[in-house]
Amino acid sequence: MKAAILKAPGGLEQIDIVDMADPGQPGPGEIRVRIHASSLNFHDLLVANGGIPTADMRVLMSDGAGVVEAVGAGVDEFRPGDHVVSCFFPQWAAGPAKTPVGNFSATPGDGVDGMACEFVVRSAAAFTHAPKGWSHAEAATITTAGLTAWRALVGDGAIKPGDVVLTLGTGGVSIAALQIARQCGAHVIITSSSDEKLARARELGAEYLINYRTHENWAEQVLAITAGKGADHVIELGGPGTLAQSIEAVRVGGHISLIGVLTGVAGEVPTATLMRKQVRLQGLIVGSRQQQQDYVAALEASDSRPVIERTYALEQLAEAFAHQSSGSHFGKICVAW
């Protein structure tokens, strides 16, 4: 079967398309899935460019969507022909995060082989049903970006109608958060360095737009928009370079979801302000299988679809990562085969 692998850690030039042995038929508790699509995330990029070390010849990509071809003994949840989407933490069934999800040892495309291949045989718990009527590329956006936004706002944030959500940037997580927030009846403030991207975000329902290059102290803009109160929820994707302003921009007793590290992995935190405002700062990485099932159910009950800027062929995976690295995309980048 065809697969996209990382021959050796350290750069996009190490990505290669190879022929691998077919994984065969599923054993007890397993399913065989014909994978048709994946989507790119910052975590995948870090693996591909050597930012996160992994094994040589690792099959890439955490997200995978496809069709069940066969089920093993004892599998009742799926049957051949079902459309499914993978789980980022296949060992995390439900409940709060615990030790088994404290690292990426079981995450596809990192600790174990990923979804950038034609067929996989995995535990049935490594997948959920995909939303009915969605394309495989659309479904592939759920595993990492979509579920992260869902957990941040619904699972951890307990979002409610009338809340104000501030989300940073216009990548996959941020745009999913915008869509989820609007479905929940919340108001959305979004930031970007591009007026063109901000205009596109307005079309998706963002009510307040901030160009952070024009307004470097964008927290002041958030406070002005909210009459000094601040945002109820902040989708914090920048990391140390933006966290201080996010703390300024959130309301007293508000909630910040610390999701991204686009500006680095270490930096100063204004702890006095954090304490004074009694802010809940929640670090999170994706979510559980149960949360993914809840998210899929919510998607099926709405008319929302993910925003996919471009879909590449599997053979163009390195090119797709280069596009992602440029930061010029809006929403998700996918690969399909």
CA 62 → CA 4, 35, 97, 144, 270, distances in Å? 12, 12, 19, 8, 34
For the cut 80, the answer to whether the pLDDT of residue 265 exceeds it is no
Q: How far apart are CA 322 and CA 319, in angstroms?
A: 5
Fold of 2-141+306-336: Quinone Oxidoreductase; Chain A, domain 1 (3.90.180)
Q: Can you spell out the DSSP letters for 70-127?
A: EE-TT--S--TT-EEEE-SSTT--SSS--GGGSSSTTSBTTTB--S-BSEEEEEGGGE
What's the alpha-carbon Rg for the chain, to the nearest Å? 20
For the cut 70, the answer to whether the pLDDT of residue 230 exceeds it is yes
Sign of CA pseudo-dihedral 325, 327, 332, 337: negative
- pLDDT one-digit tens code per residue, 48-92: 999 999 999 999 999 999 999 999 999 999 999 999 999 999 999
Q: Where in the chain is the domain with CATH 3.40.50.720?
A: 146-283
Q: What are phi and psi of 198, to 5 degrees?
A: -65, -40
Q: Where in the chain is the domain with CATH 3.90.180.10?
A: 2-141+306-336
Residue 10 has a pLDDT of 77
* Percentage, residues of the chain above pLDDT 70: 99
Q: For residue 47, what are the contacts with CB-CB under 8 A and spacing of at least 6?
A: 6, 54, 58, 60, 109, 110
pTM for the model stands at 0.96
Could you give the angle at the alpha carbon of 240 between the alpha carbons of 237 and 246, nearest 5°?
Answer: 60
Give the CATH number of domain 146-283: 3.40.50.720
* Percentage, residues of the chain above pLDDT 90: 91
Residue 65 has a pLDDT of 99
For the cut 70, the answer to whether the pLDDT of residue 262 exceeds it is no
Residue 263 has a pLDDT of 64
Over residues 235-250, mean pLDDT: 94
Q: How far apart are CA 206 and CA 176, in angstroms?
A: 12
Q: How far apart are CA 310 and CA 300, in angstroms?
A: 23
Over residues 106-117, mean pLDDT: 97
Residue 18 has a pLDDT of 98
Over residues 245-269, mean pLDDT: 87
CA 100 to chain centre: 20
Question: What's the whole-number average pLDDT of the chain?
Answer: 96
- pLDDT one-digit tens code per residue, 273-313: 899 999 999 999 999 999 999 999 999 999 999 999 999 99
- Strand spans (E) along the chain: 2-6, 15-19, 30-39, 58-59, 65-71, 83-86, 119-123, 127-129, 164-168, 187-192, 208-211, 231-236, 250-258, 280-283, 308-313, 332-336
Lowest mean pLDDT: which of 125-139, 165-179, 254-268, 298-312?
254-268
- pLDDT one-digit tens code per residue, 121-154: 999 999 999 999 999 999 999 999 999 999 999 9
Over residues 205-225, mean pLDDT: 97
Lowest mean pLDDT: which of 50-54, 164-168, 195-199?
50-54
Over residues 310-318, mean pLDDT: 98
Residue 264 has a pLDDT of 66
